Structure 1
Amino acid sequence: MEEEFEFGFTEDPKFSVERYEEMIRNHDQYFFDAQAFENIIDYYIEKNDPAKALQVSEYARNQHPFAAVFLIKQAQLLVVTNRASEAFAALDKAAMLEASDADIYIIRGNLYESMERNTEALENYEKALGLAEETDEILLHIAYVYQNMGDYDTAITYLKLCLKQNMENQDALYELAFCYDVLDNQQESVLFYQAYIDNEPYSYAAWYNLGNAFTKLSLFEKAIDAYDYAILIKDSFASAYFNKGNALVNLEKYAEAIEVYRETFEYEQPNADTYCAIGECYEKLEQMDEARSFYKKSVKMDPKLADAWFGIGVTLDFEERYFEALHFYKKALDLDIANADYWFAIADAEYKLGHMPESEKAYEKVVELNPLDVDAWLDYSSILYEDKRLVEAISIMSDAIKNNPDAAELYYRLVAYLIAKGEFNEAITYLEKALATDPEKHFILFDYLPQLQDNKVIVDIINKYTK
């Protein structure tokens, strides 16, 4: 007959684990009280060994068949190991033993939430709210469910309730920022975080989110102040340095931005995005060797970062190394085929290399992807004009104007093409429209057809609008 030993909760948790492992080695049967079993299960959970923790929960259930806690622990472990149906069964048994345990409904809610069975998730979380002592995490999960349902206003309500319960719930602060972002309601976001900071002035997360809201409102100076407070409170907050760098870039303070980006390296491993951002700053400062060096570091870390490949192309393009630039532009395009900027750069490089058919095809792609790009329409039509394909150039300008009815540049260019084709009366009609839209830009017409400066009819019409 096997000898039974009893181990109680007065034991050191480490001792309980050692005795449990001894029992398994000896194929013996020791008795542990409920607290000792809980300690052993928690030990294996902390060691990230759910299989062993599940094994302990089975022993615990056999020795303490009326303790709901082991069924609940078992359910949590079954969730982690993706055994949802077994987890539901364990929770049902736990509810029969102790229906008032909030954890039953929280875990069940988590399961339903992961299955996108939102109504059942909400029902269980609502039950848990009435039973739990601390409810901020439950309120956070209710907010997640409403986000999954696309009801961001209700999600905001629950996130605010969560923060009322626990002002330091960082997840709720970030989720709230996300909801305001989705609703494109940055003004409300700013008001909330300012009010929050009045109560919690040392919340680095609140200052950070306030900075992000200011950034989205293009209030970059205010954003930088907010990021500075976040950094002051938590000097190792790499994301705040990075976003402050982005705000400085928006203010065209590239040298300062580089210094701020570099500070992130003190608190986290350098990453591809930061290297790429530094590369872009050097590019804007026209320090192309430095820029290319950082872009190369970026692609070495993340070969799938299209912007870094593109950046290398830009630095080569700047040095009139168009053939090499084209190679890198195409690498970027392979990673992001629908990026209009990449197509534009390719179109321009092909043009500079004298590859007109390839350039034309690329411009066609640019205006298809981004019909609001006025410069692309102008360049596209120029290729056709230079190729003496006036009818097509005029047609392209007409399409451009349909998509950009307020862009005076397009009207002036169309006037030039119509005059070149000999359609003077129609040209005058469009000249009037161009001058009504923006009379100051009439020089565009003379840039394209300098001889028109001697045309009295044209000059008289322009003078009517400009004097």
Structure 2
Amino acid sequence: MQYSQDDENFPLTRFESMLKTNNILFFDSNEFENIIHHYLENGKIALSKRAIKLGLEQHPSSINLRLFQVEILVIENKFEEADDLLDRLHNLEPTNEEIFIQKANVLSKQDKHQQAIDTLLVAIEMSSTPHDDADLHALVGMEYLFLDQFENAIIYFKKCLESDTSDYSALHNIVYCYDFLNQNSEAIEYLNWYLNTNPYCEVAWHQLGRQYLTINEYAKANSALDFAIISDDTFVGAYIEKGKVLEKLKKYEEAIENYKITLALEDPTSFALLRIGKCYAKLGHDDLAIQFFKKTIDEDPILDKGWIAITKFYMKRLNYQKALYYINKAVIIDGENVNYWKVYATINKRLNFLEEAERGYKRTLELGNYELDTWLNRSDVLTTLGEYEGAIFNLIQASEFYPENAEIEYRLAGLYFLVHQTEEGRFHLKNATQLNIDYNFIISELFPQLTDRPMIKAIISEGKKASN
């Protein structure tokens, strides 16, 4: 049922004044439906329930008001009660498709998606209007999405578009399914077919441009996005995608123009500001790049890409002090962001602030980033700090994630020799040379004080012979 804001305002005002005065006024059932719909749309559940109660007192045989009652029960997770009420309504009106839709909704909320689909298919058989068919097919498509049955979902979203070609959410869902299945060529084929009958559909042109961008067909992507902009010259998404395409084509000035159009069309987005900054950096306009990176973090202080971009900008130019200033600010804003701690550790290591670097690597590991480099870097920093036992413990943990790794084994060998545990040192060095003799330089690089020891020389020499 379609509701108009103007239609509902007058009965709504009367209804609310009635609630204040306790005078009982009469409303026809349609007016009650509009009032309840309005409250549900605005999340006013208590007022919805009062309107349903009063509506049913005045219109006890109204099936539609009872269906609103079902909606409330579903919102309150009272599925059994909702089911019972729907069974009673079905006995009264066995061919009312809305009852089947609500029944499917109850089943869906309980994760009984296949049963929900079967119920919706019954509603489709009963349906008499193409518009209802479109909505019902879309609902079936959504249930298939819940089941991760993307091929079936595509079938029903396509049926939805056959009944209602302007249902852009169905179009988005079709493309989403194709994306999930990595079926870019199928998505392109479908979008081209759709555009043959809907040549001015900016959403379809935009999606087509996205697909071509994914498969690196930049010229075709650019052309499709031009058509999206011709169809709607205020379509921000199309300018953003066109900017991305132009970046790929290394046309940075044109990319900036497109991103800047989006800033004029609506409130600036951190994404557009960040991309403009990156384009200026590529063009060597450092002052403008910094200006836009700063705008990015002002616009969205919790966007990690903004902080990482400005930090890495300074790192690339070997200005580690400035880089450290920004990454410190980022860490204060979000101390749980693993990307910040990785960069924090790297910068501090470059500046030879070893305690801080170690803290960064340790925090990175605590936050679940178990990359080999993180373990190795932490171990090397601890070794330089003379914390050999800590370095050994760190590497033993690393070896649980990377068993039989030569880089770990050489380091463990060196560390055990340094703490005078010769047998452990010999064991790990032999293991290391068997795994990969080419990494033996780790000993001379990290543990130069050990290189002249006869035992170490002999094991490495033996390893070289064995590998030849």
Same fold, TM-score > 0.5, yes or no: yes
Counterpart of 1:173? 171
Counterpart of 1:404? none
Structure 1 residues without counterparts, runs of 5 or longer: 1-11, 384-393, 400-410, 433-467
- Counterpart of 2:114 (choices 116, 119, 122) is 119
AA aligned opposite 2:111: E
- Give how far 1:247 is off: 1.6
Using the alignment, how far apart are the partners of 1:60 and 1:210 within structure 2? 49
Following superposition of structure 1 onto structure 2, how do residues 46-445 of structure 1 map, counting pairs within 5 Å? Answer: 49-80=44-75, 84=79, 87-132=82-127, 133=129, 134-329=132-327, 337-339=337-339, 343=342, 349-350=347-348, 352-354=350-352, 395-396=406-407
**Cα gap change, 1:81 to 1:240, in 2 (>3 Å):** farther
AA aligned opposite 1:66: S
Using the alignment, how far apart are the partners of 2:56 and 2:291 within structure 1? 61
- Give how far 1:183 is off: 0.8
1:32 maps to 2:27:
yes
Q: Normalised by the size of structure 2, how large is the TM-score? A: 0.70
Using the alignment, how far apart are the partners of 1:247 and 1:428 within structure 2? 54
Q: How many residues are paired up?
A: 400
Q: Which string of whole-angstrom CA distances, capped at 9 and with x for unpartnered residues, describes residues 35-83 of structure 1?
A: 3433443454566644333322212212222221111123334545666
Counterpart of 2:427? none
**Cα gap change, 1:201 to 1:360, in 2 (>3 Å):** same
Instruction: Name the stretch that deviates more: 357-366 or 272-281.
Output: 357-366
Q: Normalised by the size of structure 1, how large is the TM-score? A: 0.71
- Give how far 1:314 is off: 2.1
Identity in percent: 28
Structure 2 residues without counterparts, runs of 5 or longer: 1-6, 382-404, 411-435, 446-450, 452-456
Instruction: Name the stretch that deviates more: 86-95 or 109-118.
Output: 86-95
Using the alignment, how far apart are the partners of 1:113 and 1:37 within structure 2? 27
Q: Which string of whole-angstrom CA distances, capped at 9 and with x for unpartnered residues, describes residues 359-392 of structure 1?
A: 79989989x8667x9xx9xx99x99xxxxxxxxx
- Give how far 1:91 is off: 3.1
Q: Which string of whole-angstrom CA distances, capped at 9 and with x for unpartnered residues, describes residues 109-149 of structure 1?
A: 23332332212322322222122332112212222222221
AA aligned opposite 2:67: I
**Cα gap change, 1:303 to 1:152, in 2 (>3 Å):** same
- Give how far 1:425 is off: 12
- Give how far 1:295 is off: 1.9
- Give how far 1:319 is off: 4.0
AA aligned opposite 1:135: D
Using the alignment, how far apart are the partners of 2:223 and 2:182 within structure 1? 22
Contact 1:415 1:428 in 2 (8 A): no
Q: Which string of whole-angstrom CA distances, capped at 9 and with x for unpartnered residues, describes residues 313-366 of structure 1?
A: 123224432133134346657667554x984x5566445434579879989989
**Cα gap change, 1:180 to 1:47, in 2 (>3 Å):** closer
Q: Which string of whole-angstrom CA distances, capped at 9 and with x for unpartnered residues, describes residues 223-267 of structure 1?
A: 121111111111221111112112222222222111111111232
Using the alignment, how far apart are the partners of 1:125 and 1:115 within structure 2? 15
**Cα gap change, 1:42 to 1:151, in 2 (>3 Å):** closer
AA aligned opposite 1:195: W
Using the alignment, how far apart are the partners of 1:230 and 1:429 within structure 2? 65
Using the alignment, how far apart are the partners of 2:325 and 2:466 within structure 1? 44
**Cα gap change, 1:355 to 1:307, in 2 (>3 Å):** same
- Give how far 1:283 is off: 2.0
Instruction: Name the stretch that deviates more: 69-78 or 208-217.
Output: 69-78
**Cα gap change, 1:337 to 1:54, in 2 (>3 Å):** closer
Contact 1:113 1:121 in 2 (8 A): yes
Contact 2:263 2:272 in 1 (8 A): no
Contact 2:234 2:265 in 1 (8 A): yes
